[in-house]
């Protein structure tokens, strides 16, 4: 077939309840699995040649583990995750525990546990489940263009040096925070760099002196910076992330390539100098913990304003999911969580949908999701401000935590959400 001004080898797949998904990250794999369970045939296109161990830890609240359980993945998940008994808010300078949220009773209170795990383990679990359910996963396949007609959605995909066209009932853009497909669908430009960088490292707990080992989540709050640590891989490793206001590269403002990666690196010396600056005045145990880390990886944090309407989640036969629709600052630990909630809602909406009515069901998906995602985006942004406040506001924050404790840290509207 000749189209789009290029040689086009047309691959028209059968049109009965078939969905094309751009991006094989957490959102894409979860969506593939959810719609395959709902009886749809799904094809996931991933730009990368292989699925590497990208990222580090993720925390998943009961709003998300509840979905994994409902999907029949609870046992496999339990093998991979850690289940921290407590979440401590600490002072970065003194190490004092300001307040503790008990997590071990979450299963009773919210019907599902609070868990922490390596992103690669979560991704592997979803990918295995998806492929077992019949989802086709094609790597080295970059989606270049999305388009739609009255009765079909189309992707142009670069695969094996060719530009192929794929056609199906509906399509999903789950191509991450820098989503090229979002630019085509919404035309609202690129996300912004926050000026915050996440420096992350993974430590084998066995290599740490006993006083630095931990099975809890700790958030150490300082001035313009905070550190989060929690166990992953069943507790064998400790995930350590320092989130600091800083610069990526000397010419970082225009250095889009450097921003668009999960795995940026600077020289060890430069990273250490930046961390020392960000964490000046930190208490000794935290300094010791940071000193035990090596092989730091950097994530520049990017954001968009909170979602403003359902049109940002679905346009006709095309839906946007995960970071492509609603990039999340990590200060509420819900980016992967909202991607999985999106996928669960999409699966639920498409469960009974005949192919002919798919756009209506995508609209219902969008209506059901956008306000919750907007609320989580806003809360994550607010948390970032609270974690980094200075002066009298910082003193007030610490006092509030000491006096109010757990109720200030719990988020019932978030964790109690029950869609599967």
In the complex with ligand FAD, the residue whose CB is nearer, 289 or 339, is: 339
Q: How far is the CB of 161 from ligand FAD (least distance, A)?
A: 16
The minimum distance between CB 121 and ligand FAD, in angstroms, equals 13
Specify the residue, 182 or 397, whose C-beta has the smaller distance to ligand FAD: 182
Structure tokens at 63: 């709003």
Least distance from C-beta 28 to ligand FAD, angstroms? Answer: 6
Q: Is 97 exposed, middle or buried (0-12, 13-18, 19+ CB in 10 A)?
A: middle
Place of tokens 């290599």: 207
Cβ proximity of 92 and 222 under 8 Å? yes
Of 12, 220, 27, nearest to 122 by C-alpha is: 27
The CB-of-25 to ligand FAD minimum distance in angstroms stands at 2
Residue closer to ligand FAD, measured from CB, 173 or 362? 173
Sign for the CA dihedral angle at 300, 218, 123, 271 comes to positive
Contacts with ligand FAD, residue ranges (CB under 6 A):
22-28, 45-48, 55, 58-59, 142-143, 174-176, 180, 198, 241, 299, 301, 322-324, 328, 330, 333-337, 339
Straight-line distance from the first to the last Cα atom of the chain, in angstroms, rounded to the nearest whole number: 41
Q: Which is nearer to ligand FAD, 24 or 113 (CB)?
A: 24
In terms of Cβ atoms closer than 10 Å to its own Cβ (0-12, 13-18, 19+), residue 52 is exposed
Residue closer to ligand FAD (CB basis): 64 or 283: 64
Cα of 353 vs its chain's centroid, Å? 28
Shortest CB 130 distance to ligand FAD, Å: 13
C-alpha separations of 286 from 16, 208, 211, 214, 241 in Å: 56, 13, 11, 12, 12
The smaller minimum CB distance to ligand FAD, of residues 93 and 138, is found at 138
Instruction: Give min distance, CB of 241 to ligand FAD, in A.
Output: 5
């Amino acid at each position: 077939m000749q189209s789009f001004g290029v040689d086009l080898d047309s691959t028209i797949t059968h049109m009965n309840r078939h969905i094309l998904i751009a991006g094989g990250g957490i959102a894409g794999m979860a969506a593939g699995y959810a719609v395959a369970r709902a009886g749809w045939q799904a094809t996931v296109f991933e730009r990368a040649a292989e699925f590497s161990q990208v990222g580090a830890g993720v925390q998943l609240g009961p709003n998300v583990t509840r979905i994994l359980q409902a999907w029949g993945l609870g046992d496999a998940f339990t093998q991979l995750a850690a289940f921290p008994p407590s979440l401590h808010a600490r002072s970065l300078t003194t190490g004092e525990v300001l307040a503790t949220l008990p997590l071990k009773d979450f299963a009773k209170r919210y019907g599902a546990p609070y868990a922490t795990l390596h992103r690669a383990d979560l991704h592997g679990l979803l990918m295995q489940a998806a492929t077992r359910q019949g989802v086709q996963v094609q790597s080295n396949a970059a989606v270049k263009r999305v388009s739609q007609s009255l009765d079909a959605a189309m992707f142009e995909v670069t695969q094996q040096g060719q530009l192929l066209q794929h056609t199906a009932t509906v399509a999903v853009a789950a191509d991450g925070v820098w989503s090229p497909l979002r630019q085509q669908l919404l035309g609202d430009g690129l996300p912004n760099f926050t000026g915050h960088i996440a420096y992350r490292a993974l430590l084998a707990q066995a290599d740490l002196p006993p006083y630095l080992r931990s099975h809890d989540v700790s958030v150490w709050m300082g001035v313009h910076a905070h550190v989060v640590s929690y166990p992953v891989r069943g507790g064998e490793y400790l995930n350590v992330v320092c989130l600091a206001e800083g610069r990526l590269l000397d010419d970082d403002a225009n250095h889009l390539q450097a921003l668009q990666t999960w795995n940026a690196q600077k020289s060890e010396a430069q990273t250490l100098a930046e961390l020392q600056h960000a964490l000046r005045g930190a208490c000794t145990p935290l300094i010791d913990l940071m000193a035990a880390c090596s092989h730091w990886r950097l994530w520049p944090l990017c954001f968009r304003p909170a979602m403003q309407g359902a049109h940002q989640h679905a346009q006709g036969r095309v839906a946007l999911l995960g970071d492509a629709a609603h990039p999340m600052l990590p200060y509420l630990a819900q980016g992967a969580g909202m991607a999985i909630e999106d996928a669960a809602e999409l699966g639920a909406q498409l469960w009974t949908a005949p192919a002919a009515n798919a756009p209506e069901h995508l609209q219902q998906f969008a209506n059901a999701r956008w306000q919750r995602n907007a609320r989580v985006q806003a809360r994550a942004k607010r948390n970032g401000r609270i974690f980094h406040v200075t002066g009298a506001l910082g003193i007030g924050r610490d006092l509030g935590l000491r006096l109010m404790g757990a109720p200030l840290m719990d988020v019932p509207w978030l964790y109690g959400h029950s869609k599967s």
